[in-house]
Structure 1
Amino acid sequence: MSMWSRKTGPKISCSNTALYRMYEYLVVSYTIGLRTEIELFYNQPTWSVAGIPDPQDPTPERYAILAVLPFFLTVAFSRLIKRGARPVVLETEPAWAGRVPPVERRLVIPDRFGEESEEETGGARFLEMNIVVGEPHILFV
């Protein structure tokens, strides 16, 4: 099933589906797809970051990445909210995200050129989960 429809544009179903698409875009270093998905999430009036249900993913590495992504959503959305883009109700991370343990073996996600990110330039939130990946470009508008 394609996530795009010729008649309607991107298919939007639920916040967890969007979270998994963000995960996929992050691991393949598809920045435009990631930012577009973040913007689509932001424009869903009934969705909140704190309301993302716990995916309880059975794969520890994927679960750890899914747990970090809401942090980046709060950063992107709070920036827009502070600029007056919507009423001042700052986003917060879902409670489940703080309960996900770091991965046991360091996980390195290369960029789209196959290069590994330097730990110093990677995302600190990812490093807390024992994941080395370049800081995602999450800001739009």
Structure 2
Amino acid sequence: MARPRPKLSLWTRIRRFFYLFSSPLKLRASIDRLRAHHKHPYLALLRLFIPLPTWYFPLPPALSIRELWGKPDLLRARRGDIHNLWSIPLWSARDTPLRSLYRLYECMASGDYIPMGTETEYFWYQSRWSLNLIPDPQDTDPIRYAILACLAEELVHAFNWRLSLGMRRDGRHLYRERDEDPYPPYDPETVAPWTKNVPPVDAQWTVDLPADVVDAAGRLVLEEGGVNETFAKRNIVTNVGWLYTI
């Protein structure tokens, strides 16, 4: 007489499904990532399948430069477990280019530029995120709006620089056999049209900011001695080297 098969609970069946199933969503690897910060990682993964309130994650409440400046601990708290989340395809599928742009803004607004390198790398490899299609955030904070516009424009320069070297956003990079060989042609990224309507920072907007973030001319100084031209045209002093890492 055949031995009866053991009855599996619904929860065991769900866990078995995730364990045996293989897909581009990398469900098993996602479970491992979620386990680091979730008591119930399977439930956390299931929630990622539920398109509420919409499929794409909404923007988190935005902070002003006054709230962020000189507060790297606040920045780290805002970013949370972002490096693990980037490795979860289902989470990245619900992320948006505007959310990533705001994360770059928060790095600059806090004065902690280092995370901008990995954030830019993440943005770069989201190949479906065309820079010219970044939606207009219509931000009500004029300083934040100016920084966002500058970032959207400077990312175009940074990404076209990478493309000119043979790098590709889908990871299929092109390599030259010899140094004297020409660089491969590419279709350049273009700027989102809304940025051209964003005004420069007005000196009146900076009067209540900390003294170390404003110069005598009323310009916003995010990085002392910064020379980037994209930001300079909106009266913002900074450099953008972290956007150009490889």
For Structure 1 versus Structure 2, the TM-score category normalised by the shorter chain is 0.7 to 0.9
Moved over 3 A (4+): 5-12
| Counterpart position of 1:58 | 140
**Aligned equivalents of 1:89, 1:61: Cα separation in 2:** 32
CA 1:8–1:35 in structure 2 vs 1: closer, same or farther (change >3 Å)?
same
Q: Deviations over 1:21-74 (max 9, x none)?
A: 000111223232111111111100210111100000000000001000012211
Equivalent runs, 1:3-22 vs 2, <5 Å: 3-4=80-81, 8-9=85-86, 12=92, 13-22=95-104
Q: Does residue 1:39 correspond to 2:121, yes or no?
A: yes
**Aligned equivalents of 1:28, 1:41: Cα separation in 2:** 20
Q: Does residue 1:140 correspond to 2:245, yes or no?
A: yes
| Counterpart position of 2:167 | 85
Q: Which has the larger radius of gyration?
A: 2
Q: Deviations over 1:121-141 (max 9, x none)?
A: 422221211222x21212121
Structure 1: tracts of 5 or more residues without a match: 112-116
| Counterpart position of 1:125 | 230
Which protein is richer in strand relative to its size? 1
The alignment yields a C-alpha RMSD, in angstroms, of 2.2
| Counterpart position of 2:44 | none
TM-score (norm 1): 0.82
Structure 2: tracts of 5 or more residues without a match: 1-77, 169-184, 204-217
TM-score (norm 2): 0.49
| Counterpart position of 1:74 | 156
**1:27·1:109 contact (CA, 8 Å) conserved in 2?**
no
**Aligned equivalents of 1:122, 1:2: Cα separation in 2:** 27
**Aligned equivalents of 2:80, 2:97: Cα separation in 1:** 14
State the aligned residue count. Answer: 133
Q: Which has the higher contact order (CA 8 A, sep 6+)?
A: 1
Q: Percent identity?
A: 33
